[in-house]
Amino acid sequence: MSTGEFGLIDRYFKKIPGFNAAVKLGIGDDCALLDIPEGYELALTTDTMVEGIHFLPGADPETLGHKILAVNLSDLASMGARPVSVMLALTLPTVYDSWLTAFAKGFFSLAECFQVDLIGGDTTRGPLTLTLQALGLIPKGKALKRSAAKAGDIICMTGSLGDAGLGLKIAQGLTIADSATSLQRFHTPMPRIAEGLAIRDHAHACIDISDGLVADLKHILKASGVGAHLEWERLPLSNAVKHYIDTTGDWQMPLVAGDDYELCFTIPEANLSALSIPYTAIGRIDQDQGVRIYKSATLQTLTQQGYEHFS
């Protein structure tokens, strides 16, 4: 970009002082510098959101600022990492003060919640695209990996399921009585950082539910070489989601809808009593490959799928 690039970065993105003690040098030099404490390893993740693919043209910039940060912090949460800092690559068709102000507001209010510093990035002109890289710290060897599930583990999840999926349907035109909560769950998910830290020493495998419970659980099963059975009646459903299912018959929605950003984890039964957070047990890991879903004690077949690019 032109000389405007540097003014833009200073104006909207440079916050001094920072929140996080591990950050030794933030925005303004060719690289940022981090101090990695003795006994810890870095967890790194990146996610991109493209206008027209991940959000509609004209989407609210404050929501986008929140969401691009939230989806990345959610990946840190699912490994049991404590967030430290993020880097933001921003591609903008034009520079609108009102857009950038609102984007920065959504972004920094969530960053402050989790004491995360924006330590650098890149700013370019082009079709609206948001890319964030997030860094977190985990005590060495303690990360919750997808490959660590074991037969016999209980499958648990935080929060409730299908609210963001319902929010998406509302955003697409479905009308229900009280839509505010579901819409909020879809637009501004909260990364389950405290939950990831709380389960880290007790759980085996963990994943954040971004593409749908069944689709994401399958990643754990494949990486761990195990299978699972789920009991539909155990799924934690809000009243709004229950009402949606009662009126439409669409019982598969909470299993296949994405964007909830709750954590799904597997844990030995003996460790459940050590958990200090609310959770719901929804099934069990077993040896037989694949996911078996029981509803009214009858094996069900899913006809809907989670979200996948290039499919």
Pick left, alpha or beta for residue 190 (phi over 0 → left; psi -120 to 50 → alpha; otherwise beta). beta
- 111 interacts with ligand ADP by CB under 6 A: no
Q: In the bound complex, what is the minimum distance in angstroms from residue 33's beta carbon to ligand ADP?
A: 11
Closer of 77 and 87 to Mg ion (Cβ): 87
Termini Cα distance of the chain: 35
Binding letters toward Mg ion, positions 115-134, x by CB under 5 A: -------x------------
Closest C-alpha among 209, 208, 224 to residue 254:
209
Closer of 4 and 39 to ligand ADP (Cβ): 4
Q: In the bound complex, what is the minimum distance in angstroms from residue 31's beta carbon to ligand ADP?
A: 8
- CA angle 215/219/220 to nearest 5° reads 120
- 28 interacts with ligand ADP by CB under 6 A: yes
- 35 interacts with Mg ion by CB under 5 A: no
Helices (H) and strands (E) in the chain, counts: 9, 13
Q: In the bound complex, what is the minimum distance in angstroms from residue 278's beta carbon to Mg ion?
A: 43
- 10 interacts with Mg ion by CB under 5 A: no
Question: What whole-number distance in Å separates Cα of residue 127 and Cα of residue 173?
Answer: 26
If contact means CB under 5 to 8 A according to the sort of partner, which of Mg ion, ligand ADP, none does residue 120 touch? ligand ADP
Q: Which two tokens stand for residue 123?
A: 């700013």
- CA angle 136/139/143 to nearest 5° reads 70
Within residues 150-209, the interface with ligand ADP by CB under 6 A covers none
Closer of 7 and 290 to ligand ADP (Cβ): 7
Count of residues touching ligand ADP (by CB under 6 A): 13
Closer of 2 and 175 to ligand ADP (Cβ): 2
If contact means CB under 5 to 8 A according to the sort of partner, which of Mg ion, ligand ADP, none does residue 268 touch? none
Helix/strand/coil (H, E, C) string of 249-295? Answer: CCCCHHHHCCCCCCEEEEECHHHHHHCCCCCEEEEEEECCCEEEEEE
Report how far apart, in Å, the C-alpha atoms of 249 and of each of 24, 39, 64, 276, 304 are. 54, 51, 32, 35, 13
Question: What whole-number distance in Å separates Cα of residue 295 and Cα of residue 302?
Answer: 11
- 308 interacts with Mg ion by CB under 5 A: no
- 122 interacts with ligand ADP by CB under 6 A: yes
Closer of 97 and 122 to Mg ion (Cβ): 122
Catalog residues that contact ligand ADP under the rule CB under 6 A.
Answer: 9, 13, 27-30, 88, 90, 118, 120-123
Catalog residues that contact Mg ion under the rule CB under 5 A.
Answer: 122
